[in-house]
Amino acid sequence: MSRPERAENPARCESLPATDHLILASASPARAALLTGAGVVFTVAPASIDEAAVRHAAVRRGHDVACTAKRLAWLKARQVARRTALHHPSRRWVIGADQMLELDGAWFDKPGSLDAAAAQLRRLQGRTHRLWSAFSLWCDGREVATDVETASLSMRPLTEADIARSVAAEGEALCGCVGAYRIESDGAALFTRVEGRQSVIMGLPLEMLLARLAGHDVEIGHRNPISTLPGA
């Protein structure tokens, strides 16, 4: 896959307190929880792109899942970075993120319904799948870093009763989870083997992202509550 267009040299912004300038371009509760747990102060301004169209185009062009996850994170960050530059010029750092699941070459979407979540668990049970979580970090409307990290998970064989219990226990929260499980909750009991960081499984390569922020002297802050940008 060809890389998204970018400046010849990655942007480097001066140190800015994240209490004023760090924006998460995602409505994901799991990503917000990861950042909050790490003491990061941020605002939320979700991106709105046609993810299905991007994935379908990637399949047609023969792009792999890792590059596609990075592409989606990049597009989300770019959209919010440009929108933010127009309406909130003092807010400069934007984090876009995406997660994809691959099983034997097939890509999975978020289930969208409890019936679809149950059907997805039937396909995953007794097998090993991979998750690819990507982030794209932008500053002042320019890309700073885009990267991806993977995790491998082996799900134990499940009976119909197991699947029904899992879906009932988690409820509607599963509709927005690409794997139809939540590793940070009851979903952990579904697996016999997990290789990879929990943050990656939850949808954001947190350690990698924090290292990038530290490398650009961004103070992540720890005092103010999360807020949402107007019009987000």
Residue 207's contacts (CB-CB under 8 Å, 6 or more residues apart) are: 197, 199
Report the C-alpha gap between 4 and 6 in whole angstroms.
6
140 carries an active-site annotation: no
Report the C-alpha gap between 84 and 229 in whole angstroms.
9
Please identify which of the residues 50, 64, 98, 140 carries the catalytic annotation: 98
Identify which of 13, 41, 3 has the alpha carbon closest to the alpha carbon of residue 142.
13
CA 3 vs CA 69, 146, 211: distances in Å: 12, 10, 22
Task: State whether the Cα torsion 156-160-161-163 is positive or negative.
Answer: positive
Which residue reads 């979540």 in tokens? 117
Report the C-alpha gap between 203 and 206 in whole angstroms.
9
Residues in a beta bridge with 44: 24, 228
Identify which of 79, 83, 99 has the alpha carbon closest to the alpha carbon of residue 91.
83
- Angle at 92 (CA atoms; ends 199, 81), nearest 5 degrees: 75
Cite the active site residues: 98
